[in-house]
């Protein structure tokens, strides 16, 4: 039958149905189960075979869904790829779970269309009235929360729980706070110096983002960066930090040509072609030579989408920007992969450096990375230097650069300027 796509009632019918049943003196004392279903795989089918085939797959799925439900259950199509199933007089969560199992199995059955055998996957979230919510909007919200939690845990389905919502609500509020902070430029950068072990002079700084939320107080960078990555704020955040670092770096570079400013780039921007354009533009705005900028990227960030990252890093490297592999030694990239990376610096992870005076194994790793880097014509930085002994040992190992609390902790820009004037390392460089 044609036009079947329209045949399932929509979201407003779902709301009306819920309102009516919830009004019926608490659904006659019974429970009401709401399952939200999200179909996955439809985008690929539409993209590769066209929307018409996608629509036919959907209408087959709709028919199968209706067939597998009991007569008292109701199915709705709430958006393009989302369905809702309402189970009146539910006996308990277990019964709804059985229904979900049935539905996920039928979604995986191949659908034959035009000689193609196509399969869908489904993710489900369950919420129950009156346990989880007392009105229709709220019940839908709870089922959506469960669905999102299933998605983020890579599970087929999840039941709503109060704990999830507190977590989700605090993340939501952090997210909106962070968005405001980025809008207002309320992100600060702290700078940690990096010294040249041969000349014993400061060679540059690594910038580290800092955010103090008006509501939540100081938020750790790994926390807010992950939130920014997941909520689409990472590009505006990167735009802000790159420009701030280049602006402040220029003040020092005016009197010290060989002063590199380092920026940590997160995994999410390495998959975004816009990032190399953004950085190129920032360099020209601030009149910074590309070789005065170092981008720190971790191996795992590059591995998220190796082809794409490689392409982006290559174009940045071609512009003359320095690329450093941060936390080197903790990732999984093979040496043959390393051979092809457009990088010019390795940064040994601090976990090896912190213990190198007590742990012979760590000392050997550090020495091996120094040699490896030099064999590939790469500069090498050690981070996590907390005492004189490890600084001396690294110099003996022929390591090029060092960074760590022994030299200086990350500090606000004003303190960095003072440090440059007062510390023996900083002083020598600007003298």
Binding site for ligand G (CB under 6 A): 192, 208-209, 221-222, 225, 241, 264-266, 326-327, 350, 383-386, 403-405, 410
User: Nearer Cβ to ligand G, position 95 or 333?
Assistant: 333
- DSSP strand E in 104-172: where? 111-113, 116-118, 121-129, 157-159
Q: Are 299 and 325 in contact (CB under 8 A)?
A: yes
14 versus 181: smaller Cβ distance to ligand G? 181
User: DSSP strand E in 103-216: where?
Assistant: 111-113, 116-118, 121-129, 157-159, 188-196, 201-213
Contact 192, 410 (CB under 8 A): yes
Residue 209's binding partner among ligand G, Mn ion, none (Cβ under 5 to 8 angstroms by kind) is ligand G
Strand order in the sheet with 157-159: 74-79, 82-90, 31-40, 121-129, 157-159
* Minimum distance, C-beta of residue 388 to ligand G, in the bound complex (Å): 13
From the CB of 296, what's the least distance to Mn ion, in Å?
4
The rounded distance, in Å, linking the Cα atoms of 349 and 334 is 16
The answer, yes or no, to whether the previous bond of 18 is cis (omega within 30 of 0) is: no
Q: Which is nearer to ligand G, 59 or 324 (CB)?
A: 324
**Minimum CB distance to ligand G, residue 223 (Å):** 9
Nearer to ligand G, 188 or 398 (CB): 188
- Decide whether 65 or 263 has the Cβ nearer to Mn ion: 263
User: What does 205 interact with, of Mn ion, ligand G, none (CB < 5 to 8 A by kind)?
Assistant: none
Query: What is the closest distance, in whole angstroms, from the C-beta atom of residue 209 to ligand G in the complex?
Result: 3
384 interface partner picked from ligand G, Mn ion, none, CB below 5 to 8 A per type: ligand G
**What's 404's DSSP letter?**
S
What residues line the site for Mn ion (CB under 5 A)?
264, 296, 326
Closest distance between Mn ion and the C-beta of residue 315, in Å?
21
Answer yes or no: are the C-beta atoms of 324 and 357 closer than 8 Å. no
Considering the complex, what minimum distance in angstroms separates the CB of residue 247 from ligand G? Answer: 15
Of 339, 330, 420, nearest to 383 by C-alpha is 330
Decide: 136 and 18 in contact? Cβ < 8 Å: yes
Smallest gap from Cβ 251 to ligand G, in A, equals 19
> Residue 140 binds what, of ligand G, Mn ion, none (CB under 5 to 8 Å, by partner type)?
none
Q: Which does 208 bind (CB under 5 to 8 A by kind): Mn ion, ligand G, none?
A: ligand G
Q: How far apart are CA 50 and CA 55, in angstroms?
A: 9
Among ligand G, Mn ion, none, partner that 404 touches (CB below 5 to 8 angstroms by kind): ligand G
| Residues contacting residue 30 through CB under 8 Å, at least 6 positions apart | 88, 89, 90
Structure tokens at 177: 């706070």
- The first and second tokens of residue 43, run together, are 């985008």
Nearer to ligand G, 88 or 329 (CB): 329
**Is the CB of residue 265 less than 8 Å from the CB of residue 230?**
no
> Least distance in Å: CB of 21 to ligand G?
48
Q: How far apart are CA 286 and CA 284, in angstroms?
A: 5
Nearer to Mn ion, 157 or 328 (CB): 328
* Token duo for residue 335: 């040496």
Nearer to ligand G (CB atom), residue 88 or residue 426 = 426
Q: Least CB distance from residue 340 to ligand G, whole Å?
A: 23
What tokens does 358 get? 């007590």
Q: Which one, 133 or 293, has the nearer CB to ligand G? A: 293
Question: Which partner from the list ligand G, Mn ion, none does 225 bind, CB cut-off 5 to 8 Å by kind?
Answer: ligand G
> CA-CA distance, 419 to 427, in Å (whole number)?
8
């Amino acid at each position: 039958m044609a036009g079947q796509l329209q045949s399932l009632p929509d979201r407003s019918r779902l709301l009306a149905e819920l309102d009516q049943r919830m009004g019926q003196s608490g659904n006659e004392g019974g429970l009401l189960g709401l399952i939200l279903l999200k179909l996955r795989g439809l985008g690929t089918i539409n993209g590769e075979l066209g929307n018409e085939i996608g629509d036919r797959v959907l209408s087959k799925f709709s028919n199968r869904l209706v067939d597998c439900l009991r007569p008292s259950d109701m199915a709705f199509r709430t958006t393009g790829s989302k369905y809702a199933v309402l189970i009146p007089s539910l006996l308990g969560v277990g019964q709804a779970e059985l229904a979900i199992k049935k539905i996920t199995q039928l979604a995986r059955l191949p659908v034959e269309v035009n000689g193609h055998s196509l399969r869908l996957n489904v993710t489900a979230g369950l919420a129950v009235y009156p346990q989880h919510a007392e009105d229709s909007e709220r019940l839908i919200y709870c089922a959506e929360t469960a669905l999102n939690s299933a998605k983020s845990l890579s599970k087929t389905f999840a039941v709503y729980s109060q704990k999830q919502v507190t977590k989700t609500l605090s993340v939501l509020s952090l997210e909106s706070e962070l968005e405001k902070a980025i809008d207002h430029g309320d992100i600060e950068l702290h700078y940690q110096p990096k010294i040249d072990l041969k000349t014993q002079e400061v060679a540059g700084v690594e910038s580290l983002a800092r955010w103090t939320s008006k509501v939540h107080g100081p938020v750790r960078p790994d926390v807010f960066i992950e939130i920014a990555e997941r909520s689409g704020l990472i590009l505006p955040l990167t735009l802000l930090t790159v420009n701030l670092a280049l602006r402040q770096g220029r003040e020092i570079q005016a009197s010290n040509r060989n002063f590199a400013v380092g920026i940590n780039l997160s995994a999410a921007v390495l998959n975004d072609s816009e990032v190399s354009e953004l950085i190129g533009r920032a360099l020209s705005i601030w009149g910074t030579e590309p070789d005065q900028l170092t981008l720190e990227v971790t191996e795992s960030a590059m591995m998220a989408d190796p082809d794409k990252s490689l392409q982006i890093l290559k174009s940045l490297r071609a512009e003359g920007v320095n690329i450093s592999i941060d936390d080197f030694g903790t990732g999984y990239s093979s040496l043959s992969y390393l051979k092809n990376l457009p990088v010019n610096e390795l940064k040994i992870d601090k976990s090896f450096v912190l213990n190198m005076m007590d742990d012979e194994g760590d000392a050997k790793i550090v020495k091996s990375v120094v040699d490896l880097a030099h064999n590939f014509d790469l500069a090498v930085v050690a981070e996590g230097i907390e005492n004189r002994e490890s600084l001396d040992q690294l110099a003996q190992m022929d390591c090029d650069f060092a960074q760590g609390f022994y030299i200086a902790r990350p500090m606000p820009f004003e303190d960095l300027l003072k440090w440059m004037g007062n510390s023996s390392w900083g002083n020598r460089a600007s003298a």
